[in-house]
Amino acid sequence: MRETFYAGLAVAATALFLLPAESRAADIKYACENGTALTVSFSEATAEITIPDGSKVSLPQQQAASGFWYSDGRYEIRGKGEELQFAIGRMAPVICRNAGEVTGQFDRATRAEVQLAEKDTGFDMKGKLTCLRYPNFALKELDLGEKGAAGLFIASSAGPCQLNSTLDRKIKDDTAGYLWGAVGPYAFFRGADGWNGGMPFVVYDARTGTRLMDDVIAGEFTGLSLAGEELTLRYRRTFAASCSLLAAPDACAATIRKELGLAADRPLPDCRPAYQPAIDADPNAARDIEAWPSVIDYPVERKLSASGTSFVAADGDLTCRPAM
């Protein structure tokens, strides 16, 4: 029963994580081939677009076989990754591409995209190379139209946007699915898939190619600040407990507080509203459903440098849901 109940949630989660890299907490500007511009703010359920005349329209999410699709019957956007098609009524859709003007809390980068022939991808198929150029290095992503990049690279900031098997440092990391951004010398890559409602990410030192940390974030970073060599990250962290706050509230709460470093008197969230839809769908399995492990999103502040990383729980709300 659990697998059946979560099948719909899995479809929604898959669609969400095919959105542009910076989509879940930022307005993204797109440049369209007809010379107009769109600003889009994505969420799980809707996409709010600012159309060329300056008015705003909220589009409900539709189920798409691949990528994302939002439509209210008149206005529509469809796409995957950094590109979308925008249509009004029966007008022919126009192709719009991420203008590279929104990078959330990340450093600004000069963005370039190059279409590659089969002979240039190394995979006997055409592809697209995206390059984000920073003052001291560049990040490259090879896209062959499949989930997850076919190649992620840290490279020199000099030279054209092209693959260089001699100079490019390839990132071989199961957590790294797409480019995300950079702050100072630290390069961020996000996962190709979500995990328990959060998004895995990994950080590398672009100077040495050293993997520094990985974690799972709920939403977007609320702060990224660099002081000297030390980067401070503020975000909501996704944690999967081994117990259920619904089935064993006191014992599980004590376990979670200990594992997360929370104060003994810090209140934990009421999990029942998140479990209730599954219980309502199959009341006879209520006890089994209540035993599903709990997932907690909570705010943290993390310190990161080339020598290591540490984090502490921060003030703020905690949320709870069953593990997927």
pLDDT tens sequence across 32-48: 887 777 888 876 678 88
Closest CA to 277 of 268, 286, 266, 267: 286
Residue 169 has pLDDT above 60, yes or no: yes
Rounded to whole angstroms, the Cα distance separating 33 from 123 reads: 29
Q: In CATH, what is the architecture of 9-98? A: Beta Barrel (2.40)
Enclosing H/E stretch for 170: strand 169-170
222-239-218-173 Cα dihedral, nearest 10 degrees: 100
**Cross-strand partners of 204:** 187, 211
Question: Which pLDDT belongs to residue 267?
Answer: 93
Q: Which tokens in the block code for residue 160? A: 């054209």
SS (H, E, C) 112-135: EEEEECHHHHCCCCCEEEEEEECC
Q: What pLDDT was estimated at residue 250?
A: 95
pLDDT for res 124: 86
Average pLDDT over every residue of 286-312 = 95
d(CA 17, CA 197): 10
Are 304 and 212 in contact by the 8 Å Cβ rule? The answer is yes
pLDDT at 102: 41
Phi, psi (degrees; rounded to nearest 5) at 290: -60, -20
Amino acid identity at 67: G
212 band by pLDDT with thresholds 50, 70 and 90: very high
Reading the block at residue 113, the tokens are 């995209």
Average pLDDT over residues 148-170: 93
Mean pLDDT for the stretch of residues 181-185: 94
CA-angle at 167, arms to 163 and 170, nearest 5°: 70
Q: Which of 57-66, 200-209, 294-303, 305-314 comes out lowest in average pLDDT?
A: 57-66
pLDDT in tens, 1-31: 454 444 443 333 334 434 554 443 356 778 8
Enumerate helices (H) and strands (E) in the chain, giving the number of each: 5, 22
What integer pLDDT is reported at residue 17 of this predicted model?
39
Per-residue confidence (pLDDT) for residue 44, from 0 to 100: 62
- The single-letter code of the amino acid at 72 is D
Tokens linked to 5:
């109940």
Assign 100 a pLDDT band (cuts: 50, 70, 90). Answer: low
Three-state DSSP at 109 gives coil
Q: What is the mean pLDDT of residues 185-214?
A: 95
Q: What is the mean pLDDT of the chain?
A: 86
Residue 98 in this model has a pLDDT that exceeds 80: no
Yes or no: say if 302 and 311 are a contact pair by the CB < 8 Å rule.
yes
Q: How far apart are CA 268 and CA 254, in angstroms?
A: 10
pLDDT at 306 over 60: yes
Q: How many CB atoms lie within 10 A of CB 65?
A: 7
| Position 103 confidence tier, pLDDT thresholds 50, 70, 90 | very low
Contact indicator for 237, 298 with CB cutoff of 8 Å: yes
Closest-CA residue to 240 (of 129, 324, 117): 324
Tally of residues, the chain? 324
- Between 13 and 128, the higher pLDDT residue: 128
CA 105 to chain CA mean position, Å? 13
Lowest mean pLDDT among 10-14, 188-192, 261-265: 10-14
